A and B are shown apart, each in its own frame.
Chain A
Amino acid sequence: SQQGEEDPQALSIQEGENATMNCSYKTSINNLQWYRQNSGRGLVHLILIRSNEREKHSGRLRVTLDTSKKSSSLLITASRAADTASYFCATDLQGAQKLVFGQGTRLTINP
């Protein structure tokens, strides 16, 4: 079963708007990572947030982590058509040497 549950499964917004995706998980983690995937291609690493961090920024990306609620969110500000992709959260479980992925959020940016 998947560790992460992502919400929403699909999101469609206008260019320039902000997009927020959420991820929930079940067990203790070392860190949580967000990835982007364009149409059946490889995963592009976006950001890693460790279990002792609460917020992290990278360019137009802002990630938060709430370990008490076992949840994370990814905010993309000022969206662009090129942001159209699927976004996945992946939890890096303690002692497991593997990432466990959510089902992803399909983001569509309309011009």
Chain B
Amino acid sequence: KAGVTQTPRYLIKTRGQQVTLSCSPISGHRSVSWYQQTPGQGLQFLFEYFSETQRNKGNFPGRFSGRQFSNSRSEMNVSTLELGDSALYLCASRTQGTDTEAFFGQGTRLTVV
């Protein structure tokens, strides 16, 4: 069974630009959640989608958004990038949103210059 696939693996963007990251969950998994990892803040929850509906959102500004498609693939978008958005963005896939194992992708390393 294929794991969670995140693309791209690395990105370098300029301040003010926007970026879209993609996540393909494990086949059959309907819940996709996103996390931001930085040295200072650790792993922070961004949002969770289940069957195309956002069920929970973390404490991030509105510049961070996401969506989920009918095939459970998910994208997250960050607009008007700031230097502080540089981070490892991780996607997690679960069969449902709670009380099951969460499997993570390799992440997308975003660098904002």
Contacts and interface: CB of A to CB of B under 8 A. Distances in A.
Contacts of A33: 101-102
Contacts of B56: 96-98
B109 A100 contact: no
A42 B105 contact: yes
Given A95-B98, A99-B102, A42 B107 contact: yes
Interface in A1-31: 2, 30-31
Contacts of B55: 97
Question: Which of A94, A101, A104: most chain B CB closer than 10 A?
Answer: A101
Contacts of B50: 97
Q: Would you call the interface of chain A mostly helix, strand, loop, or mixed? A: strand
A48 interface: yes
Nearest to A97: B97
Contacts, number: 64
Interface residues of A, number: 27
A90 B31 CA distance: 17
Interface in B3-24: 4, 6
Nearest to B96: A97
A63 B42 CA distance: 22
Nearest to B43: A101
B49 to A, nearest CB: 9
Contacts of B92: 43, 99
A97 B98 contact: yes
25 contacts: A2-B42, A30-B98, A30-B99, A31-B99, A35-B104, A40-B107, A41-B107, A42-B90, A42-B104, A42-B105, A44-B104, A48-B101, A50-B99, A88-B43, A90-B43, A90-B102, A94-B98, A96-B56, A97-B97, A98-B48, A98-B56, A98-B58, A99-B33, A99-B45, A101-B43
Q: Which 6 A-B pairs have the closest CB atoms?
A: A97-B97, A101-B43, A43-B104, A42-B106, A30-B99, A98-B45
Given A40-B88, A42-B107, 14 more contacts: A2-B42, A31-B99, A35-B104, A40-B109, A41-B106, A43-B104, A45-B103, A92-B99, A96-B98, A97-B55, A97-B56, A98-B58, A99-B102, A102-B42
